[in-house]
Structure 1
Amino acid sequence: MSTWGDEAIDLMATVGVTLDPGQRETICDGMSEGADRKWLASEVADVEPRQNGKGVILETRALSGLLLVKEPLIIWTAHEFKTAHQGFMRMRHYFDNYDHLRKRVRTIRSSTHSTEIILKTGQTLAFLARSGGSGRGFAGVSPLFLDEAFALTAEQVAAIMYATSAAANPQVWYMSSAPLADSEVLRETCKRGRRGARGLVYYEWSARGRYDDLFKLVEQNKALSDEDEDTAEGQELRGRLFAAVAEANRAFGIRISESSILREVRATGVEQFLRERLGVYSELETGAAIDAERWKKLGDPESRRDGDVAIAVDIAPERDWAAIGLYGHRADDLGHVQLIHYGPVAGLLDKIAEYRDALDPVAVGMARGTYASLREDLKKRGIIRPEDRGDDDEPSRSDDKDPRRGDLVVLGGTDMAAACGQILDATKESTIRHVPAKQLDDAVGVGKTRRTGESIAWARTDRAVDITALVAVTEARWSFYARRDAKPREDEYDPLGNIF
C-alpha cells in the first residue's frame, strides 16, 4: 500500500498552503493505493462543521489529481453555482499566481456556459452546479467532488454518478456539514461510514454526548445574559460549550474564535447551532423528520378531545392500507391527535360515514388523489365538497355553498405542504399530544420529507415504508383549522333560526 498524500501535501506547500493535521490525514487516507495502483477507497466522505477547511482538502485533491496522478477529467460540483464558482476562483488563483502552475495551463474558461481549467496536456478541472441533468454529458470522470453533500438528491446522484463508471480508477468525494432532515443521500452515506463500509474513507467531526444533553447545553448558553456570563455558573456553562465546540471543530482557536461562537449561539436556533457548529443531528438511523424521542414524550394515553374535531382519510399508494386520523383541542387547549382507524381499503367508506355521523366533525379531509378515487362513492353517501352542493342529483339548497360540518375539504399540493410543515412545527413546539398507536408511532419513526418548491411535504417514494397513519393525522390537523367555523349540517339547520 502507498499514498499520494505526502506528495500532495508538499505540492500545496509550493502555493503557500500548509494543511492542518486533520486535512493531512484525510488526504493521505483518501489518496492511498493498493498494489494494483487502484484507490483503496472508491469513496471519501468528510462531514464536519463549517469553516474547518473542507475546501482546502478539495483543492489539494484537485491540484494533485491534475499534476501528480494525471487524472484526465475532474469535476467539482456544489449545490449552488456560487459555491462551485468559489472553488473555481481559489483554484484559478493558484494557476494565475504561481509560475510552475501557470506554464501548464492551456486555457481557463469562466462563463455561464463553461467554467473550467484546461491544462496543455488536455487534463480538465470543471466546475458545475448540480441539477437533475448536470453531468450527463460527461464520461470517465474521476475524481468527482460532491461539495455541499447535505443537499444531494437521488435524482442528482443518478444524473452524475454514472459519469464515473468508465473511469479507469474512479473515486467520489463527499464534503458537507451535518445532514439536514431531508438529506437522504448524505444520511445513507453517514450510516455506511459509521458501520465501517468497505471502500469508504469516512471522517465525521462532532461533539460527544447525547443529543438531548447537548441541546440543553446550547439552550442554556443561548439564554445566558451578559451579567450572568461573569458568574461562576456562567463561566462553567461557557467552558462546557467551548469544550464541545473544540471537539467538533479543528479550526477552533485558529480560524474560529470564542467571540464568533458566542455570536452564532445568540443569532441562530438551537438545532441549527447543533448541526452547523457541533456537527450533531438527530435520527441518523432513519432520517425521520420527527425526532422519535420527542414524539414519545408527546404521547398521552389519557389524552381526550374537548369539543369539535376534524377527521381525515389517507390511502397508501399501493392501496393496501387506509387510515383515518382525528384532530381537535383538549381542555388545556393543546392539540389532540389520534389515529381512529387503520385497516384494509375494503370497508373504508363505511368507516368514513360511521365516524362522520358519530363525531359530527367540522370537516372530512383528504388529498386530491384519495378524493379522486372515492368521489363517486362519497357522493352517494352525501359526503361532498361545499362547492359541489346544488348538483341536480343532490337534495340540497343550491344557493348555499358555505362549508358545513361534515363536508369534504380536499387538500391540494400547497395545502399538503403547509399541513406537513404545521405538524412538524407543532411537534417541535410541543403544542400537541397524541394517543399512542403502533401504526402511527411506526409511521412517525420512518416519515421523511421531500422538497416541493420552497416547501416540504411527506415523501412517499419508498413503497416499503407505510406513513399512511401519519399523513392522515397531518391532514386532520390542517382540516380542523381550515373549517373550524363550518355551519351545522343541513339536517340540523333551522330556517327560522335567523329570524328574530
Structure 2
Amino acid sequence: MTLLSSERSAEQQHASRPVADGPVYGWQRPPIEIAPPSVTTAGQEAIDLAARAGLHLDPWQQHVLRVGMGEKADGSWASFEVAVNVPRQNGKGGVIEARELWGLFIGGEELILHSAHEFKTAKAAFKRIERLIRRTPDLHKRVKRYWQTTGEEGIELHSGQWLRFVARSKGSGRGFTGNCNMMDEDMILGDNEMDALLPTMAAVEDPQIWYLGSAGLGAPSVQLARLRRRALAAIEAGQPDPSLSYFEWSADLHVKECPKDCDKHDDPASDETVRKSNPALGYRLTLPKVANERATLSKEGYARERLGVGEYPSDEADAWQVIGKEVWEALADDESKPDDPVSFAIDVTPERSHASICVAGHFGDRVHVEVVDNRPGTAWVPERIRELADRHGPRCIVIDPGSPAGSLIKDVTEALKVDPDEEVGEDEEPQLIVPVVQMKTRDVVQSVGQFYDAVAAGRIAHLDNAPLSTALAGARKRDLGEAWAWARRGVGVDITPLVGVTQARWGLFVDIEEPEEEVEPWAEFG
C-alpha cells in the first residue's frame, strides 16, 4: 500500500535532492499519492519499451508507471483507475505514450481509446506516438495502417490491436469496447463524457482507465474532483482505495492568516514549493524559467498553472459540510428584515470574476443577514455602495484588506467622501459619510467563529437567498491552528455571499470609534 501526504520517503528525498553546483530537481514522488497493494508490475516493461522507441522517461514518470501498472497475484490490474494530476509542461504526455505503446505491442489490448477535450490535443498526441513508432523499425513493421483521416486518427496493427484518438463529447466513444481508456485533459471532464466512455469497458475482463491533466478548474473538473476526494478520504482513513491509484504534485500555499513562522504551508515564492509541485524541474523546467512565469502571470494563474493549486467542485453528497442544510433552512423567515443601523460588507472572488455586497442588521433578538448584490466583475461596487450608504445610513462598511476585496478600498473610500471634490493631504483622513472598517487578520477568524456560533444558537435570520444558500452548500473549513476560516480555494463555488454576511454581521458589533491594536503581526500570503 502506498500512502503519502506531505511526507517524503527516504527514496523520494534522495531523488529530489539538488546536486551541488548542478541543476535543481523536483520531487520525484508526489506530495499526495495513494495506490492499492500490488504483487508485480508491468510498468518496467512499459519503461523499457519506451526507451527502445527513444522515449527516455524521468524518474517520476517511471514511478507512476510502475505503481499505476501494478498487478495482483492473478496478474490482473491492481488499479482499475489511475489518475495523474501534475502542472503543465511536466511531461505527462510521456506517461501516456509509454502506457499506450505497452498496450499496443506488449499488453495485446484490442482497443485503446485516447480522448482529449479538444480535437487538436488528441491529434497532436497521435502525431507524437506515430513518430515514436515510425522511428523504431521493429515496432513500425507491426503496423498495418496509420489512420490519418480527420476525426478517425488511429494506429492499427496487423495483429488487430487498435489505438484510436477522439475528441470527447457526449457521444464520442459509444459503440467501442475499450480495454484501456486514456483520458487526457482530465481537468475538463464531466458526467456526459464519462457516461459515453466508461460503459465501453463493461464487457472487458480486465480494463484500465487513466486520467491525466493539471489542476482543477472549478465546475469543469467534475470527475477529477471525485477522484481527488476518494484519494484524500483514503489517505485520511489510513487505508488504500481498493481500485484507485492517484498521484498529485501540488503546493499547499500559505493563507493570509498564517503566522510568520508557519511551517505547515508552502511559500509561493520559494524554490522548494516549485520543486514540490514540479517533478520535471531539472529535466525540462528550470528555476529561472519558473521565475519568469511568476513575474508575468497573475498570482492565481501562477498558483494554478505552475504550483498545481486547483479548484474542485463539490459533489452533492459532500454539500452542506460546515452548516447543515436543515439547520440553515430552519432559520429562514419571510418576515425577516434588518433594523437600522445596519452594516454592509464587500467581498470579491480570488479571480475577481464576481463581487458581493451583503448587509446585516438586528431583527429582534436575532441578526438578519442578506446578500444585497452578487454580480460579475468589481467595477460596479463603489457606485453601488455609495447608493446604499445614502439610502440606509449604515454604521459602517466592512472590508478585509488582505482579501481580494482589499484592492477596492481606495475606490470605495473615494465614493463615500462627504464632498467628492475634496482634496486631502497625505496625512489627513478624508471625511466620509460612513466609516470604512478594515478588518485585521484576527477579526476575520473571529467573525467566522461568531457567525457559526450564532447559527448554532438560532440567532441568525435570513430570507433563504439563493446565492447565500449555494455558497453555504459548497462551503469548506480552512484550519488555522486552533481556529478556522472559510476556505476560498478548491471549493468550486462563489463563497463571497457567505464571507460577506459573516463580515457584515461582525460589523454590527465592532467598536468603530476605538479599534483595537494588532498585537501580533501575521504574515500576509495570497
TM-score (norm 1): 0.57
Seen in structure 2, the aligned counterparts of structure 1 residues 429 and 137 have a Cα distance that, compared at 3 Å, is farther
Larger radius of gyration: 1
Match of 1:203 in 2: 247
Aligned residue runs from structure 1 range 19-418, under 5 A? 19-139=57-177, 141-182=178-219, 183-196=221-234, 197-212=241-256, 240-281=269-310, 336-338=357-359
Structure 1 contact 79–130 (Cα < 8 Å) conserved: yes
Aligned residue runs from structure 1 range 349-498, under 5 A? 421-422=376-377, 428-429=404-405, 438=455, 443-447=470-474
Shift in Å at residue 274 of structure 1?
1.0
Match of 1:232 in 2: none
Shift in Å at residue 178 of structure 1?
1.0
Distance (whole Å) between structure 2 residues aligned to residue 32 and residue 165 of structure 1: 21
Seen in structure 2, the aligned counterparts of structure 1 residues 81 and 340 have a Cα distance that, compared at 3 Å, is farther
Match of 1:7 in 2: 45
Seen in structure 2, the aligned counterparts of structure 1 residues 131 and 212 have a Cα distance that, compared at 3 Å, is farther
Which amino acid in 1 is paired with 2:65?
Answer: I
Number of aligned residues = 337
Deviations 1:56-78 (A, max 9, x none): 00101000011111000000111
Distance (whole Å) between structure 1 residues aligned to residue 294 and residue 316 of structure 2: 25
Shift in Å at residue 208 of structure 1?
4.3
Shift in Å at residue 286 of structure 1?
6.6
Distance (whole Å) between structure 1 residues aligned to residue 106 and residue 96 of structure 2: 15
Distance (whole Å) between structure 2 residues aligned to residue 165 and residue 424 of structure 1: 52
SS at 2:204's partner residue?
coil
Q: Which runs of 5+ in 2 are unaligned?
A: 1-38, 235-240, 262-266, 323-331, 347-355, 363-367, 382-402, 413-436, 438-446, 456-463, 476-492, 502-526
Distance (whole Å) between structure 2 residues aligned to residue 25 and residue 470 of structure 1: 43
Seen in structure 2, the aligned counterparts of structure 1 residues 332 and 324 have a Cα distance that, compared at 3 Å, is closer
Shift in Å at residue 31 of structure 1?
1.1
Deviations 1:91-116 (A, max 9, x none): 11012221111101111112223111
Shift in Å at residue 445 of structure 1?
3.5
Seen in structure 2, the aligned counterparts of structure 1 residues 126 and 420 have a Cα distance that, compared at 3 Å, is farther
Distance (whole Å) between structure 2 residues aligned to residue 82 and residue 322 of structure 1: 53
Q: Which is bigger in relative contact order (C-alpha 8 A, separation at least 6)?
A: 2
RMSD in angstroms over aligned alpha carbons? Answer: 4.6
Seen in structure 2, the aligned counterparts of structure 1 residues 261 and 92 have a Cα distance that, compared at 3 Å, is same
Structure 1 contact 191–285 (Cα < 8 Å) conserved: no
Seen in structure 2, the aligned counterparts of structure 1 residues 172 and 264 have a Cα distance that, compared at 3 Å, is same
Shift in Å at residue 137 of structure 1?
2.3
Which amino acid in 1 is paired with 2:473?
Answer: V
Shift in Å at residue 262 of structure 1?
1.9
Structure 1 contact 128–134 (Cα < 8 Å) conserved: yes
Seen in structure 2, the aligned counterparts of structure 1 residues 211 and 3 have a Cα distance that, compared at 3 Å, is farther
Which amino acid in 1 is paired with 2:190?
Answer: T
Which amino acid in 2 is paired with 1:126?
Answer: R
Deviations 1:381-417 (A, max 9, x none): xxxxxxxxxxxxxxxxxxxxxxxxxxxxxxxxxxxxx
* Identity level (%): 33
Match of 2:349 in 1: none
Seen in structure 2, the aligned counterparts of structure 1 residues 121 and 173 have a Cα distance that, compared at 3 Å, is same
Seen in structure 2, the aligned counterparts of structure 1 residues 275 and 94 have a Cα distance that, compared at 3 Å, is same
Structure 1 contact 326–338 (Cα < 8 Å) conserved: no
Shift in Å at residue 470 of structure 1?
6.1
Which amino acid in 1 is paired with 2:405?
Answer: E
SS at 2:166's partner residue?
strand
SS at 1:151's partner residue?
coil
Distance (whole Å) between structure 2 residues aligned to residue 120 and residue 133 of structure 1: 28
